Amino acid sequence: MAGQEKSSLVLVIIVSMICAAAGGEAAIQPDQNCPTRCGKVDIEFPFGTSENCYLHPSFLITCHNNSAYLQVGPPENNLPVLNISPEKGEMVVSAKVAKTCYDASEKMVFTTPPMVYNLTSRKLFSVSQSRNRLTVIGCNSFGVLDGFDSEGRAFRTDCISYCTRSGAVKNVTATTNDLCRGAGCCRIHLSATGLSYFAYDSDQLFFNNNASTLIYKSQHKNQCSYAFLVQDGDYNFSPRDLDNFRNESFPVLLDWAVANQTCQQAKVNTSTYKCKAHNSRCENATTGLGYICRCQDGFEGNPYLYHGCQGIILSYFFYRDFV
C-alpha cells in the first residue's frame, strides 16, 4: 500500500540524516553593535545573527531579505522564525504542510516529500510536547509522524480521519464549528518529550470503492490528504478545507534551553552560569535536561544580559501612598 511505503520512507530519512551537535560558545554577552531585529522579528540575546552576537552557535539566526530563519538541514527545510521569547524559552517557527492527492481511479497525482526537520544540531531545542498537535485533514486519510527524542529514542504517532459512512460525510459538510474529532479531520498531541528530530507525511486509505468512498468521491472533487504540525489555537477545522485547503504552513512552538545542566549544576560555576541579570532566577527546563533564565517577580526584560531585568514601576501604588 502506498501509505506503508511513504511511512517507511519517513523513518529511512530520519535514520540517514541525524547529525552531530554544534561547537562551543561564541559570546558571554553580545557586542553593542549587534542587530536586534530581522524584519518583524526581535532578535534578543542569547540569539544573534552574526559572530559575537549569540551565546552559542545553536542560537544563530539567519537573516535573509528581512526574514529570520532557523537552519535545521537543507535550505529547503529551514524554518522561518515568527517569534522568539527569551524569558519563556520559546520560539515560534513556521513548518510546512505535507500533501498527497489521488484521482478517481486511486492513482497518485501529487505528493510532497516527507517534511523532515532536524533540530539535533541546535542541541537543547525540541518541539513542544503539550503545545502542538499533529493534524490530518481529508476523508479516509492518515498522517504519521516519526522522530527521535534528545536521547535518541525512536517515537511514532499517527492520526486517521474517516468518512466511512454517508452520514459522516454529510455531517462534516454541514457543520460550521471546529469539530476536528475524526470525521474529515483528526488531531493528536505529541506524547514524546524533547523531540529534536521529526518527520511527518500524509496519505489516503482505500476501501475498494465501497458506498461511503463513492459518496465521498462524488461530493469532493479534491481527493487530497494533508498532515501538519500546528500550535494549539492556530487552526480551526472548516468543512470547506476538504475541497479548498490552501494553507502551506502553520506555526509550531519550539522549546529551548541554554545549557546541558540543571540549575543546581550551573550555579556552581558563576563564570559559565547564563542568568546574568542581578534580578534573575534559574528554572529547570520542563522538556528535558537544561535550564532557562527568568526575571524575578516585579522585574521584566532579558535575564541573559547584565542589568537586563528592570523593575516594573507601579505608579498606582506611589499615587495611593501620597494622596
pLDDT tens, residue by residue, 60-109: 999 999 999 998 877 777 899 999 999 899 999 999 999 999 887 778 89
Average pLDDT, the chain: 82
Q: What is the DSSP letter of 277?
A: S
Whether residues 77 and 159 fall in one domain: no
Whether residues 124 and 166 fall in one domain: yes
Q: Taking the chain, what is the end-to-end CA distance rounded to the nearest angstrom?
A: 78
Whether residues 247 and 143 fall in one domain: yes
Whether residues 248 and 271 fall in one domain: no
- Indicate whether 54 belongs to any domain: yes
Give me the domain span that covers residue 248.
2-18+91-256
Whether residues 184 and 42 fall in one domain: no
Whether residues 81 and 99 fall in one domain: no
- Residue numbers in the chain where pLDDT is lower than 70: 1-27, 164-178, 206-222, 313-323
- Indicate whether 180 belongs to any domain: yes
Say how far apart CA 44 and CA 34 lie, in whole Å: 9
Whether residues 227 and 284 fall in one domain: no
- Indicate whether 252 belongs to any domain: yes
For residue 12, the model assigns a pLDDT of 40
- Indicate the burial class of 242 (C-beta count within 10 angstroms; 0-12, 13-18, 19 or more): buried
- Indicate whether 220 belongs to any domain: yes
| Assigned C-alpha cell, 274 | 547564563
For residue 20, the model assigns a pLDDT of 31
Whether residues 135 and 148 fall in one domain: yes
Whether residues 206 and 310 fall in one domain: no
- Indicate whether 28 belongs to any domain: no
**How many structural domains is the chain composed of?**
3
Residue 8: strand, helix, or coil: helix
Place of cell 546574568: 276
Residue 211: strand, helix, or coil: helix
Q: What is the DSSP letter of 117?
A: E
- Indicate whether 99 belongs to any domain: yes
Query: Nearest to residue 95, comparing CAs of 137, 60, 127?
Result: 127
Among 240, 256, 272, the domain-final residue is 256
Whether residues 175 and 116 fall in one domain: yes
Among 205, 237, 256, the domain-final residue is 256
Whether residues 139 and 199 fall in one domain: yes
> Which contacts of 67-70 are long-range, i.e. CB under 8 A and separated by 24 or more positions?
67/38, 67/39, 68/38, 68/39, 68/41, 68/43, 70/122
- Indicate whether 32 belongs to any domain: no
- Indicate whether 291 belongs to any domain: yes
Whether residues 73 and 200 fall in one domain: no
For residue 7, the model assigns a pLDDT of 47
